[in-house]
Structure 1
Amino acid sequence: MLFLQYPPCSTCRKAQKWLEEHGVSYEARHIKEENPTKEELQAWHARSGQPLKRFFNTSGQAYKSLGLKDKLPAMSEEEQLDLLASDGMLVKRPLLIGEDFVLVGFKTAEWEAALCQ
């Protein structure tokens, strides 16, 4: 599994602790240093079953400074993917990528349902 995280993020640290407590092996990737590519984001979005808007870090400074709350609805999916791929700080984190699932953000119930069957 691939675990995309931003180490200073407290939610990412909680998610990482949860993975370790549940014995889940993963490869960690720093989302700011190694930004997801457009192709990765496209594949993850398709596998997640989530709306693309869910992949945006709506509480982040980059999102707010770009005024994306008002701009996103008018943007095409292509434009949104290009934007997400341009800056890892725009991407909601953590992301956990498995063979048949993608978890966006850390919600304990979602992670338990996907990983503790």
Structure 2
Amino acid sequence: MIVYGIPNCNTVKKAQDWLKENNIVFEFHDFKKKGITAEKLNEWCNAFGWETVLNRKGLTWKKLSKEAQLEINNQALAIAYLVAHTSAIKRPIIEKNNTPVLVGFDVAKYEQTLL
């Protein structure tokens, strides 16, 4: 299992704590340091929808002008933006057996999917 995110994100910390409490072994991929490929983002967007993978609640997105936000209106444009601005990826994203299974942190969804 791989947890994708950034280490100083509170939601990522909550997810990691939950995984540890439930004795679930995982690898952490820090996409601020290791980056993320357009191919991987495309997998996630196909699994969850690009509008879910793009974190519109975060500061990175909010720093964009309204015009720039409106221009990101499809999966290809969202992926191009996210490759360049990894902080705008919704976190964490969890893959199990190389398949994207969860985005964000919700205890009920984690219990249902991972236990």
Q: Residues 61 and 69 of structure 2 are in contact (CA less than 8 Å); yes or no, is this contact kept in structure 1? A: no
Give 1:45's aligned amino acid: C
Count of aligned residue pairs for this structure pair? 113
Amino acid at match of 1:83: Y
Aligned-partner Cα distance in 1 for 2:13–2:92: 9
Q: Kindly provide the CA deviation profile for residues 60-101 of structure 1, in whole angstroms up to 9, marking residues without a partner as x.
A: 1110111469416x6232111111111210101111111244
Over the aligned positions, Cα root-mean-square deviation in angstroms equals 1.9
| In 2: Cα distance, 1:29 partner to 1:106 partner | 16
Structure 2: give runs of 5+ residues left out of the alignment: none
- Contact 2:45-2:75 at 8 Å conserved across structures: no
Out of 14-23 and 78-87, give the one that drifted further.
Answer: 78-87
Please give the TM-score of this superposition, normalised by the length of structure 2: 0.86
TM (norm. structure 1) is: 0.85
> Would you identify which runs of 4 or more consecutive aligned residues in structure 1 move more than 4 Å?
none
- Inter-partner Cα distance in structure 2 for 1:37 and 1:113: 29
2:14 is aligned to 14
Give the corresponding residue for 1:60: 58
Partner of 1:71: 70
User: What amino acid is aligned across from residue 112 of structure 2 in structure 1?
Assistant: A
Write out per-residue CA displacement over residues 12-57 of structure 1, whole angstroms, 9 at most, x where no aligned residue.
11110100111111110112112221100111222x3x22111112
